Amino acid sequence: MSNDDPKITGMKLWHLSLPVNARRDHGIGSVEHAVEIVVVRLTTEDGIVGFGEASPWVVFTGSVEATYAALDRYIRPMVIGQNLADHAAIMERAQYAVAHCTEAKAALDTALFDLRGRLTGRPVWALLGGQYRDRIPLSCSIADPYFDKDLALMARLRADGVRIIKLKTGFKDHAFDMMRLEHLRADFPEFDIRVDYNQGLHHDVAMSCVRDVASFAPTFIEQPVKAHLHDLMARLRDSIDVPLLADESIFGPEDLRRLDHIADGVSIKIMKAGGLTRAQTVARMAAAKGLSAYGGDMFEAGLAHLAGTHMIAATPEITLGCEFYQASYFLREDILATPFPVEDGKVVVPEGPGLGIDVNEDLLDKYAVRASE
């Protein structure tokens, strides 16, 4: 057996609870005190390791308990003893070993790519087709129910060179959303403002609310209503001049057949797509329809950010920047050995092998709720 074709002999999981520094309110739910993720470490017979992160949210993709069980009970037998060269076959088997659980599959795919990169000395972006960009504009979400706290965050973002924000709307009343938009337009005119409802609007008021928000000319308005209301999404899209993006309505490539009817673009997330390659496929299918793509994320630590960064670096079709702010602006402590790389408001694409930055396993143990191998 050649050195670049080893067997995978170990798989360890950590269920982590990571403290956060603020509350985040979205249209479909809130996050406060901590985020819960699962980290997977794959080990080859010669001791090389690769890491991946699953970042579920119970109101969006599923629970951390389901994610952990999917990896531990159902996906583990698909992985142990397999050759790393059989990456595609492993992912195909995992796809059907357990329904849904897309974030578990994203973690597995990430760990496999990290392993392959470390074994071959190549960055993950090289394994995904090559580097198209080495910097990605960073967007930070504004989602605190206490707007004064978000204003303090805006001042920090301005000082750090960040120039894109996404205002989370629909979790309080419409007047609150309009007040914040007026304030941001007046006091932070240099910022590119996007708006994201996370399904927060009731269908009875969606049309009037979206039209009001569109009058502020944000770069886009994302997922104003429930994911299944495709006809209403199409009507909203036709009623405004601002691009409408789909998020919760579009998970993987299987959903793309309806995208051109309900939106002008899509938020691409490896957690909902089920992996890096599937996320690239969503972006390319969207672009083939003439639609835009944005690099979204879940409530992630820096490990998942790295996976998304490599994917976007190798995907020209994702043109609207990325949302990988949590490691720098939301978590009290990230799990990477060195800080997630952000400079002058842009994510810097790592050049090292695999994901390019190591995980601090001491921090995995520190924040572990449970672990198994």
The 3-class secondary structure across 51-107, one letter per residue, is EEEECCCCCCCCCHHHHHHHHHHHHHHHHCCCEHHHHHHHHHHHHHHCCCCHHHHHH
Q: How far apart are CA 151 and CA 144, in angstroms?
A: 10
Which range has the worst mean pLDDT, 148-157, 164-173, 225-234, 259-268?
A: 259-268
Q: How far apart are CA 237 and CA 302, in angstroms?
A: 34
Domains of the chain plus CATH, in order, are: 8-121+361-372 (3.30.390.10), 127-348 (3.20.20.120)
pLDDT bracket for residue 110 (50, 70, 90): very high
Do β-strands 8-19 and 368-372 pair in parallel, antiparallel, or remain unpaired? Answer: antiparallel
pLDDT of residue 155: 97
C-alpha angle 204-172-213 in degrees, rounded to nearest 5: 65
Tokens of 240: 């405004």
* Residue appearing with tokens 């951390």: 64
Do β-strands 135-137 and 139-142 pair in parallel, antiparallel, or remain unpaired? Answer: unpaired
Q: Is the pLDDT at 3 greater than 80, yes or no?
A: no
> Whole-prediction pTM value?
0.96
User: Residues 147-194: pLDDT tens digits?
Assistant: 999 999 999 999 999 999 999 999 999 999 999 999 999 999 999 999
Do β-strands 34-44 and 49-54 pair in parallel, antiparallel, or remain unpaired? Answer: antiparallel
Work out the average pLDDT over 116-127. Answer: 97
Beta sheet of 244-246, edge-to-edge order = 139-142, 164-168, 192-196, 221-222, 244-246, 265-268, 292-295
pLDDT of residue 2: 46
